[in-house]
């Protein structure tokens, strides 16, 4: 993390601490960021224990910070609120320059909670589970050589779909449909949908197009390649794991969800307009037909 980014996050931490304490809220600071605000006099806990002590968890940063928190906090039933200090901020709703008023509104009950589901990845070798991980945005199968394609068999709910030769495959949740999947030509899916998008990355056959399937589907991938050309699986562009033709990938919806807390004014389409640069000719907030 660069020094300028550290300074901006530290400044937001000081503001957030001041706002919360003035509203008689007990504040617990995550251990890994405590050094950013010395002499804070707050209670400190490691991230994996925060859910035991907190009624609300506030994440400061960009979508990457929220993705990291999601993998740790999913299933805890503790709502998570994001303060945006990143570039896009699809998952972090509170603007840093409006922190005091928006946090005050949330503390006074002006919010709503939206569950977002994650994907669970299990990797098997000789029918034995050898690796597990989770992702809020997407799971990506790709070659670890930039100029090499990989071939794999794709099954959905044990039904054979295709053999594909491409740079890889993106399995995206609705939450992740505005992230890496979007840059690969995938569809934008509203977060309320129970759906998954399968997006081929530079497929050898042009008829291989993005496909949307039921979110409760079970996806199985068998890699058809030489051991000399290894592939990788990544979760939210963070967790990377090498895979070979001897291994089977099983991907499905995780039972636990992340509870995102939104201010009452949150509107998904407005977020898309702002973050994706969509134009609008409407002069007022409401438009009658």
Active site residue 93: no
pLDDT of residue 34 exceeding 60: yes
CA distance 180 to 189: 13
Walk across the sheet containing 138-143 and list its strands.
211-214, 195-201, 168-172, 138-143, 231-235, 239-243
For the chain, first and last CA: distance in Å? 49
Residue 102 C-alpha from the chain's centroid: 23
pLDDT beyond 80 at 285: no
Task: Give the mean model confidence (pLDDT) for residues 60-87.
Answer: 90
Whether domain 3-110+264-276 has CATH 3.40.50.10330: yes
Tens-digit pLDDT profile for residues 83-114: 998 777 899 999 888 899 999 999 999 999 99
Task: Tell me the per-residue pLDDT of 229-251, one tens digit each, with 9 for 90 and over.
Answer: 678 999 998 888 999 888 999 99
Instruction: Report the pLDDT value the prediction gives residue 208, as an integer from 0 to 100.
Output: 85
Predicted pLDDT of residue 24: 94
Identify the architecture of domain 118-254 in CATH.
Answer: Sandwich (2.60)
Residues 117-174: tens digit of each pLDDT: 999 999 999 999 999 999 999 999 998 776 688 899 999 999 999 999 999 999 999 9
User: Looking at the predicted structure, is the pLDDT value of residue 2 above 50?
Assistant: no
pTM: 0.89
The neighbouring-strand residues paired with 172 are 138, 197
Looking at the DSSP assignment, which residues form a beta bridge with residue 220? 155, 250
> Cα-Cα-Cα-Cα dihedral of 209, 142, 198, 205, to 10°?
20
Report pLDDT for 66.
92
Distance CA 173, CA 100 (A): 32
Catalytic choice (18, 63, 214, 226): 63
Containing 156, the helix (H) or strand (E) segment is strand 150-156
User: CATH 2.60.200.30 spans which residues of the chain?
Assistant: 118-254
List phi, psi (to 5°) of 207.
-75, -10
Q: For CATH 3.40.50.10330, list the domain ranges present in the chain.
A: 3-110+264-276
């Amino acid at each position: 993390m660069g020094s300028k980014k550290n300074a901006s996050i530290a400044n937001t931490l000081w503001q957030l601490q001041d706002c919360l304490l003035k509203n008689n809220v007990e504040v617990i600071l995550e251990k890994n960021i405590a050094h950013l605000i010395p002499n804070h006099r707050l209670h400190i806990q490691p991230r994996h224990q925060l859910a035991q002590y907190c009624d609300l968890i506030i994440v400061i940063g960009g979508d990457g910070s929220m993705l990291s928190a999601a993998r740790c906090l999913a299933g805890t039933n503790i709502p998570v609120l994001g303060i945006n200090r990143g570039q896009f901020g699809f998952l972090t709703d509170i603007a840093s320059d409006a922190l005091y008023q928006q946090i005050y509104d949330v503390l006074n009950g002006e919010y709503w909670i939206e569950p977002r589901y994650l994907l669970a990845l299990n990797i098997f070798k000789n029918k034995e589970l050898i690796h597990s991980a989770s992702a809020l945005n997407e799971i990506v199968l790709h070659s670890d050589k930039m100029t090499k394609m990989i071939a794999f068999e794709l099954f959905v709910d044990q039904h054979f779909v295709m053999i594909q030769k491409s740079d890889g495959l993106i399995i995206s949740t609705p939450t992740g449909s505005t992230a890496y999947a979007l840059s690969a030509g995938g569809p934008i899916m509203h977060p309320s949908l129970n759906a998954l998008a399968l997006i081929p990355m530079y497929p050898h056959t042009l008829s291989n197009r993005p496909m949307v399937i039921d979110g409760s589907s079970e996806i199985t991938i068998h890699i058809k390649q030489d051991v000399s050309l290894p592939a990788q699986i990544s979760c939210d562009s963070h967790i990377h794991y090498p895979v070979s033709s001897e291994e089977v990938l099983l991907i499905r919806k995780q039972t636990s969800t992340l509870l995102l807390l939104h201010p009452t004014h949150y509107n998904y389409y407005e977020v898309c307009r702002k973050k994706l640069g969509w134009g609008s000719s409407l002069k007022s907030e409401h438009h009658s037909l």
